[in-house]
Amino acid sequence: MRGCLQATAGFVAAFFVLTAVTALIGYNLIVVATDRDTVKGLFTGLDEVVRQTAPALIIEAARQEALARGITDLPIDEGQLQTAVATVIPPGWMDTQAEAAVDGLYDYLETGDPTAAEVTLDTRPLLDSLRGAAGQQMVTAVVANLPPCTTVPNFTTVGNVDIPDCLPPGTDVQQISSVVHTAVVNAIDQNPEILANAGVVRIPLIGDDNSAGLNSERQAQWARLQRNFTLARTWGWTLWLLPLACLFLLALLVVRSLPTWGHWWGWPMVIAAVTVLFFAIVTPALLMFVARTAVPTPTDPLTLPLHQLGLNLVTAVADRWLVRVYFQAGIMLAFGVGLILMAFGVTAVRERGY
């Protein structure tokens, strides 16, 4: 009978290790993924990404236009463009918009209300910057880096002003940039959507088949995501019930003294904690390997900052998850070691007859 109980207890102890490892890994991942403040903190530094990407986009567009005109050597002042873009984007504006987008997403995930599934972007600080000296500086930088005309220029109409796609010989860059900037400001001030919403853009995440939103299939996917989010957030803590039940069952099956309690609870805790700590140590390197393998580093300078941002997001999520896992696994390890030491200590005292 005793052997049968111990064999059963062995299976229960092994099941405890499995469920405790799952709880430590899964529950903390749920906590990180369902906390909006944690997710919002992942999107810091977007201003820098835009400052790196926007000049590259402008440079690439200018070079493509130059190639179309047979110009292979186009001198471009990248520093001037970098400074102009950095000046026109208000400090922290992109980070603020990213936080607003996360708020809109989590408002829907937390409530399930489709009307809350909306991303609100406040473009007013950026528009004010474009209207002012910073906008003038950026337009001047763009115009100054247009390719020289080798044929009759084509024109793009902005507002009521025709803007050339190249610079005719003898063009006054400052004069044409002032004209272009005025056209840009007029286009902003006359845009009906900007006028109607005073510069605040609302983008619905969910819509019906007759609107600009999502179709029925995508709406169903969003609905499933919301249900899974609610389920994980509400019941994620139940992952701890199975390991706790295992400890309780071990106590009923084989615990008859302090030493047996210490061994039957302590060793499974130590094994589970060590397993999780080992997994946590190798996880960052594994995640980065998977991320770099699944999405190889691009050679295109336009997508390189976005690729790096994606890797940074993976690293940031892993870091927040690891902090919680290390802390909880450390507590479990310390408690398990304490129980084992207590078991050996009590046994030694009894053997010496104290």
pLDDT by residue for the chain (354 residues), tens only, comes to 667 878 888 899 999 999 999 999 999 999 998 988 888 877 777 777 777 777 777 677 666 766 665 656 656 667 777 788 788 888 888 888 888 888 888 888 888 887 777 788 888 888 888 888 888 888 888 788 777 777 777 776 655 666 777 777 777 888 888 888 888 888 888 877 777 777 788 777 775 444 444 557 777 888 888 899 999 999 999 999 999 999 999 999 888 888 899 999 999 999 999 999 998 888 877 776 766 666 566 555 556 566 666 666 777 788 888 999 999 999 999 999 999 999 998 888 777 765
The encoded tokens of residue 251 equal 């106590």
**Residue 155: helix, strand or coil by DSSP?**
strand
Strand 200-204 versus strand 155-158 pairing type: unpaired
CA distances (Å), 277 to each of 110, 264, 268, 329, in order? 32, 21, 14, 7
> What gap in Å lies between CA 63 and CA 56, rounded to an integer?
10
CA gap 244, 269 in Å, rounded: 11
**In terms of pTM, does the model score above 0.75?**
no
